[in-house]
Amino acid sequence: MFRLTREDREDYEQFIATIQDAGHELEERRRQPLAQRTTRQEPANFEDIMAVHGERLANLNVTLCRECLYAIKPEDGGYCNDCRPE
C-alpha cells in the first residue's frame, strides 16, 4: 500500500480517477475495428500522461502500467500484475 497524507490521498484519488478514465478510453478504442479508430480523436496514452503528470507521480512514488495505465509502484517494473509479460 502507498503511504500518503490525507491531502496527498485526496489529490491522488482525484488524479487516479482521471487516469482510469484515460485507461477506459484506451480499452474502448482497442475493442473497435481498426477502420473506426482513425475517425476518433486520440485519447491520452502512456507517454502523454507521463509527460504531463510524470513528475507528480514520481513525487508520490507512483507510476503507471504501460498497458492499462493502472497505478503501480516504480519497482513493479512498468506493468501491473495483469499486464506483466510472462
Residues that bind Zn ion (CB under 5 A): 65, 67-68, 70, 80, 83
Which lies closer to Zn ion via its Cβ, residue 35 or residue 64?
Answer: 64
- Nearest approach in angstroms of CB 7 to Zn ion is 27
- Nearest approach in angstroms of CB 71 to Zn ion is 10
C-alpha of 26 from chain center = 10
Q: What is the C-alpha to C-alpha distance for residues 19 and 64, in angstroms, rounded to an integer?
A: 9
- Nearest approach in angstroms of CB 79 to Zn ion is 6
Task: Let me know the angle formed at the C-alpha of 45 by 48 and 80, rounded to the nearest 5 degrees.
Answer: 110
